[in-house]
Amino acid sequence: MHEVAKGLAGIIVTETTASMVDGSAGHLTYRGYAIEDLTTYANYEETAYLLLHQRLPNLHELTDFQQSLGTQMALEPHFVEVMQRFPKNCHPLTILRTLISMLGVYDPTADDNSLETELHKAYRLIAYTPIFTAAWSRLRRGLTPIPPDKNVGLAANLLYMHTGLIPTPAEVAALNVYLILMADHSLNPSTFTSRVVASTDSDIYSAITAALGALKGPKHGGANEATMEMFMEIGNPENVPSFFTEQVKGKGRKIMGFGHRVYRTTDPRSVILRTHAETLAKNSDNTRWFDIAAGLENLALADPYFMERRIYANVDYYSSVLLYMLGIEPDLMPLVFAIGRMAGWVTHILEQRLENRLIHPEAQYIGENDRVWVKLEDR
């Protein structure tokens, strides 16, 4: 019998140059650049280009990349027709997963895994994900999808297509920061899933569809949705102490958005998102949701149980507040997660293609042996 690494904990299955996570130090880099610098100086498109091309773009390259994304941001009638037939109460991530799969149906190059063609499809996936997200957010409310503005970036377009309003610079900046922070995180469950599918030489749309299936779980991409629902249940800042005492301490209830498989210290993404969530709250004169989140975090940080176990706020905690203040409903939050992570997914799929080996782990059998066959009539 061999020792089993449940959940593949501690098992290194591949090499990557896309991102590095130092869980003990609370440090995250993309292609060697600290996320603190990227969220201060870059927009999402620069970050996506960095991941896909392994370097930052110059002005001409960035302009071409943004124009390429803008050109592909168009919602064809057949997608709208299909979405209009979907049940309005279906979870939005299920809708997005289905639409991404449909992209492969209408792409004649879907099974061409050459690098140049795959890169074109990667751009297409990055462009279409916000289109699908915003269109569904409106169609399910009985509203008409809004075409994108080809003169603004991806973050501004998502907010505009979702609300129909021109977002403020602070709102665009906050969403850009969130998308950058979600762009990659080494071999997380959805990224690993995408690489497993890519390792079979399947098409990129299948790999992304599988990644979205993994993302849907509340232990992964669905955590920001669950976190915001917890804040909404608390309702007001003055209810935070009783929630912590009665629910968390009294009933052992988990604080959603707290704890992380990798980080044994503060999640660096949470620190950045906290600042931007607070700024949005103060700019809007509505600090209710930020105050709830900050109040609950402060109680946890003062509690020996959380400190002894080094349980801190993760990326989902303040991102839920930030997205909600941008007008994103809780069940749409995992889709915005997917918009940001798309750059990382396609990067890892392309990386898998370069030195591909079929990912095929083994399982240790612990069942019964030498069982005697019993005829059907004697059972």
Please confirm, yes or no, whether 260 is among the known catalytic residues: yes
Kind of pairing between the strands at 33-34 and 27-30: antiparallel
Looking at the DSSP bridge assignments, the partners of residue 144 are: none
Query: Of 162, 184, 203, 260, which is the active-site residue?
Result: 260
Of these residues, 184, 267, 291, 316, which one is catalytic?
316
Q: CA neighbours within 13 Å on the CB side: how many for 3?
A: 5
* Confidence (pLDDT) at 262: 84
What is residue 261's predicted lDDT score, i.e. its pLDDT? 78
CATH 1.10.580.10 residue window(s) in the chain: 6-167+179-217+331-354
Give the residues across from 20 on adjacent strands.
Answer: 29
Between CA 83 and CA 346, with CA 153 as vertex, the angle to 5 degrees is 65
Q: What pLDDT sits at residue 2?
A: 75
- Residue ranges of the chain assigned to CATH 1.10.230.10: 223-325
pLDDT at 218: 85
pLDDT at 186: 93
Instruction: Indicate the CATH number of 223-325 among 1.10.230.10, 2.60.40.1110, 3.90.105.10, 1.10.3720.10.
Output: 1.10.230.10
What homologous superfamily is domain 6-167+179-217+331-354 in, according to CATH?
A: Citrate Synthase, domain 1 (1.10.580.10)
Please tell me the predicted confidence (pLDDT) of residue 359.
93
Task: Identify whether the C-beta of residue 296 lies closer than 8 Å to the C-beta of residue 243.
Answer: yes
106: Cα separation from own chain's centroid: 25
Contact (Cβ atoms closer than 8 angstroms) between residue 193 and residue 214: yes
Q: DSSP alpha helices (H): ranges in 140-287?
A: 154-163, 169-182, 189-199, 204-215, 223-234, 240-242, 250-251, 268-284
| Average of per-residue pLDDT values in the chain | 94
pLDDT of residue 266: 85
CB-based contact 29:6 (threshold 8 Å) = no
The reported pLDDT for the residue numbered 348 is 97
- The predicted pLDDT at position 23 comes to 85
Q: Is 0.85 topped by the overall pTM?
A: yes
Average pLDDT, consecutive stretches of 10 residues, N- to C-terminus, the chain (379 residues): 78 92 91 97 98 97 95 91 95 96 96 94 97 97 94 95 94 97 95 97 98 91 92 97 96 91 86 96 92 97 93 94 96 97 98 94 92 96
